Amino acid sequence: MAPTKELVEAAYQALATGDRAEVEKYWAEDMRWLVPGNHQLAGWWEGLDGFFGFMEQVGKLSGGSFVMTRSAILLGDEWSADVSHNVGTRVTAKDGSTSPYDRLEIDVVHLLRWRDDKVIEGRGAIFGDGTTQFNQFWSQLATDATRVGA
């Protein structure tokens, strides 16, 4: 069965709860997620446990500030694509100061593949200078809170 707009929204709302039982209603145990870029979170996250690990890191690194707001959802036979506005903040220096890389505000497309009303694979796509912003935002920090690998 093809995904619906309501199903896509319900899947993202389940993620927002952080409740594993709720998430399992919409995200398959054997799912995989590809994070684009060249930074510490980039690459494939395998299985629901891996995906939860990814989301935990996003929350930790952004101090819980990372938010995705969907503005459009496109649907196909076993696919959905959503356009999301992603916003987050990282305070990195011990004195509370920030760098230009500590604020993220970009538009992203998530391509989701569905089976039996559950997401089995997701991929993110970022365009233009959003890719650079994303890489810098998630770049690693040295012990003195300076950025490395940006």
Q: Which domain holds residue 119?
A: 5-148
pLDDT at 76 > cutoff 80: yes
List the single range of 9-23, 40-54, 129-143 with lowest mean pLDDT. 129-143
Distance CA 14, CA 9 (A): 9
**pLDDT bucket at 150, cuts 50 / 70 / 90:** very low
Mean pLDDT of 128-149: 78
What was the pLDDT predicted at 146?
63
**pLDDT bucket at 94, cuts 50 / 70 / 90:** low
Distance CA 84, CA 137 (A): 17
Residue 38: which CATH number? 3.10.450.50
pLDDT at 84 > cutoff 50: yes
Overall number of domains in the chain: 1
